[in-house]
Amino acid sequence: MLKIIISPAKKMNTTDDYPCALTTPAFLDRALELHARLKEMSLSELKNLWGCSDRLAEQNYERLSTYSPDQALTPALLSYEGLQYQHISSSVFTNSQWNYAVSHLRILSGFYGLLSPTDKVIPYRLEMQAGLRTERGNNLYSYWGDSLYRRLIEEGSTELVNLASGEYSKSILPYISQDIERPVSCVTCVFGEMKSGKVKMKGTQAKIARGEMVRWMSENEIEKVQDIREFKESGYSFCPELSQEDKYVFLLSGTDSTSRP
């Protein structure tokens, strides 16, 4: 089965208006463990861990007391904000798009591990690259280990479309190459533009394109990795000359500036 993996967003909200039945995150027990660990820390320790402003540190410190993962009420796909999620446009999904997303889309999370779109979540701040020490190691990559990859395998994943950032895909990709018993093919999508003969990626454009890709795949109910080469939203098109078996490059049209002064 085809699965799409994406990153979460730092900014989150809560809502009680959603069109789906809530589900329970696969790693809720691990999220509760991390929640308890964070609550042990002081505001100054958390501010250093989060690497954020005083205002954001205070807001998220208060959230640790206000919310608990076992009392969440917002589906993950509607909880995250940011450019990627704005362009997924899940708030206007049809029933068939929701069904597709539930079957095919997974959100990687430093706090929850792996989320289905309908999994109930709380607002939190914990990036995957955070150096949070736990009994399982000195960071969240050690904390999660290969559990997120194994969960994808348990769900029947045979093909992955990687639309996650490097920070988050690092929790999955190393284990694919190590797994010789259950081969999983994975294609990482690169969205960029040609500048002076080289592919240049811009963070803002990449986030928008990743969201557009998820929305387009849900609209067209894509089931095979090779079919995403037909993606042509927002001026992008597949570039076979620059692509590889495990990397698909999509370029903005009319951006080659090799002949410009």
Residues 143 and 137: their CA atoms lie apart, in Å, by 6
230 inside domain: yes
For the chain, report the end-to-end CA distance as a whole number of angstroms.
Answer: 48
- Would you state the pLDDT for residue 195? 86
Residue 194 domain boundaries: 2-252
Looking at the structure of the chain, the number of domains it has is 1
- Would you state the pLDDT for residue 260? 32
- Would you state the pLDDT for residue 182? 76
DSSP state of 6: E
259 inside domain: no
- Would you state the pLDDT for residue 197? 83
90 inside domain: yes
17 inside domain: yes
Q: What is the DSSP string of 165-226?
A: -HHHHTTTHHHHHH-SSS--EEEEEEEEEEETTEEE--HHHHHHHHHHHHHHHHHHT--SGG
- Strand extents, DSSP E, the chain: 2-6, 74-75, 105-109, 113-115, 120-121, 159-162, 185-195, 198-200, 236-238, 247-252
71 inside domain: yes
6 inside domain: yes
From first to last of the 261 residues of the chain, give the pLDDT tens digit: 999 999 999 999 999 889 899 999 999 999 999 999 999 999 999 999 999 999 999 999 999 999 999 999 999 999 999 999 999 999 999 999 999 999 999 999 999 999 999 999 999 999 999 999 999 999 999 999 999 999 999 999 999 999 999 999 999 999 998 887 777 899 999 999 988 888 998 889 999 999 999 999 999 999 999 999 999 999 999 999 999 999 999 999 865 533 333
